[in-house]
Amino acid sequence: MNLETIQVLNQGKVSTIMLNRPDMLNAVNEQLVWDLQKATENVMNDDSVKVVILTGAGRGFSAGADLSERKASWSGSKDALIRGYKPSFENIINMPKPVIASVPGPAAGIGAALAMSCDLRVMSEDSYLLSVFSNIALVPDGGLSWFLPKFMGYAKAYEHAIEAKKILASDCLKYGIANKVVPSDQLEQITLDWANQLAKRSSQSLNHTKRLMRESLAMSYWDTFSNEAEIQNELTVSDQNREAVKAFLEKREPNFD
């Protein structure tokens, strides 16, 4: 896939989508918005890809929207968010495979929202999230007003948003935003190793668990209970379930290929 602002690298069953404007700390211009739509759609529809990594080239994940851009087609911020950004967020959240954000350095503004839209996050020790919007008299967007309170609670999320305070990697780990915090020089390899481990697991278990847990955030306990029952009823007669049970009894690793 040849994209102007994004590099896509496929390694076995893992696909890495890299925001590739390192000279701008991967600030998001309009071209990157369109490229990200294409990249996320392609990996979502590629059945050979079991796990996706989203990261940034160079010293940062993303500095947020490129405020230096002067020629864009948006008719306003709502148009940019709905027509531009939303399809990529939908692809990340709805694709039936786990997406891991690998976060080097800053993830600010819409960059922080992109990182938080992923299912899992590995952050370097010097990285941080930043809802920078109040510095330019705006409100959080890209769903940050939803993501941050879910993890941090309302009061701390509001404090960090209105004061534009960095959420350091160590605090992200404390709040459950980060799954792992690792040395900067090991970020890429540790993320890839984790992705490869997940790619060996049952794809139907990964995919349905993602869907169930995503949907549970807006559902009642009993609705989730019922959905689990329906899905479990299907999976317990599946080839992958039979293979997993057989492997357990034979004391070997299952083969889901």
pLDDT tens digit sequence for 162-195? 999 999 999 999 999 999 999 999 999 999 999 9
Q: Cα(92)–Cα(51) distance, rounded to whole angstroms?
A: 11
Check: CB of residue 91 under 8 Å from CB of residue 134: no
Amino acid at 164: A
Residue 53 in this model has a pLDDT that exceeds 80: yes
Where does the pLDDT of residue 71 fall: very low under 50, low under 70, confident under 90, or very high at 90 and above? confident
Predicted pLDDT of residue 147: 97
Predicted pLDDT of residue 70: 82
Predicted pLDDT of residue 72: 87
Whole-prediction pTM: 0.96
Residue 224 in this model has a pLDDT that exceeds 90: yes
Residue 221 in this model has a pLDDT that exceeds 80: yes
Check: CB of residue 99 under 8 Å from CB of residue 54: yes
Which tokens sit at 103? 């976060």
Find, among 13, 8, 135, 16, the residue nearest to 65 by Cα.
135
Check: CB of residue 61 under 8 Å from CB of residue 20: no
Q: Which whole number is the average pLDDT over 53-63?
A: 97
The average confidence (pLDDT) of the chain is: 96
Predicted pLDDT of residue 123: 98
Phi then psi for 105, rounded to 5 degrees?
60, -145
Residues forming a β-bridge with 53: 16, 100
Predicted pLDDT of residue 78: 96
Where does the pLDDT of residue 231 fall: very low under 50, low under 70, confident under 90, or very high at 90 and above? very high
